């Protein structure tokens, strides 16, 4: 692959076996992150999404799985880490998923002019409350179509923040599932 290559991960999901190459220093290089897994296994949008954003895609597991699950959708994956973008592009080809594009973006910066039916993210816990609030909740929420949904997974330590942000910004929030230190939330745009 390249000088950063660490290993290949096999991820079984809904009868398919996805293959992901991962590079040194990327998030969750030993296995698919538990938060990513619990998010993928619980996402169930009310409407079939036609435009999906994977915000902070890493090497691509969420966007690639959703691109495969919703072949009629246009999926966009973004990450601030260019090595992650490189590996996500490679993993798209490896899994033969053709309805997904991936590129570098800090938060919503490169897609701020687009709207989505579904936005998903495994929210990075260490970037601080304000960055989480603006870059992973309030900002993306503004880029949802009417009836669109923002699905996020957070580590347990952030459970104090997510309901507070929803209340302060009058966002429609539902806790979907908690499992082994991670919680999945859904925000729904009216």
- Among all chains, which residue has been given the structure tokens 């690639």? 64
The pair of three-digit structure tokens given for residue 37, joined into one six-digit string:
């897994």
How many residues appear in the chain?
190
The DSSP H or E segment spanning 98 is: none
Answer yes or no: are the C-beta atoms of 99 and 50 closer than 8 Å. Answer: no
Rounded CA-CA distance 147/189 in Å is: 5
Question: How many Å from the N-terminal Cα to the C-terminal Cα in the chain?
Answer: 45
The reported pLDDT for the residue numbered 41 is: 97
The reported pLDDT for the residue numbered 27 is: 67
Residue 1's SS3 state is coil
The pLDDT > 90 percentage for the chain reads 88
Please determine, for residue 1, whether its predicted confidence score (pLDDT) is greater than 80.
no
Answer yes or no: are the C-beta atoms of 68 and 100 closer than 8 Å. Answer: no
Residue 60's nearest CA partner among 106, 14, 9 is 9
Residue 153's nearest CA partner among 50, 48, 28 is 28
Model-level pTM? Answer: 0.95
The DSSP H or E segment spanning 149 is: strand 144-155
Residue 149's nearest CA partner among 33, 43, 18, 35 is 43
Residues 24, 29, 35, 36: is their CA dihedral positive or negative? positive
Rounded CA-CA distance 159/124 in Å is: 13
SS in 3 state form for 124-144?
CHHHCHHHHHHHHHHHHHHCE
Q: Using 50, 70 and 90 to split pLDDT, how confident is the model at 30? A: low
100-104/172-179 β-pairing: unpaired
What is the architecture, at CATH level 2, of domain 33-188?
3-Layer(aba) Sandwich (3.40)
Please state the rounded mean pLDDT for residues 130-141.
97
The pLDDT > 70 percentage for the chain reads 97
């Amino acid at each position: 692959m390249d000088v950063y290559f660490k290993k290949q991960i096999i991820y079984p999901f809904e009868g398919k076996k996805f293959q992901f190459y991962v590079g040194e220093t990327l998030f969750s290089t030993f296995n698919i992150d538990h938060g990513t897994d619990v998010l993928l296994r619980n996402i169930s949008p009310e409407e079939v999404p036609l435009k999906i954003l994977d915000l902070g895609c890493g090497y691509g597991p969420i966007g690639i799985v959703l691109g495969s699950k919703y072949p009629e959708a246009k999926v966009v994956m973004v990450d601030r880490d260019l090595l992650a973008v490189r590996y996500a592009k490679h993993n798209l080809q490896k899994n033969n998923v053709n309805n997904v594009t991936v590129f570098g973006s800090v938060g919503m910066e490169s897609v701020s002019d687009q709207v989505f039916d579904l936005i998903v993210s495994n929210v990075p816990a260490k970037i601080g409350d304000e960055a989480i609030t603006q870059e992973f909740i309030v900002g993306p929420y503004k880029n949802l179509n009417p009836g669109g949904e923002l699905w996020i997974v957070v580590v347990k330590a952030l459970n104090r923040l997510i309901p507070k942000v929803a209340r302060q910004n009058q966002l429609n929030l539902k806790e979907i599932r908690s499992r082994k230190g991670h919680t999945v939330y859904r925000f729904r745009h009216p």
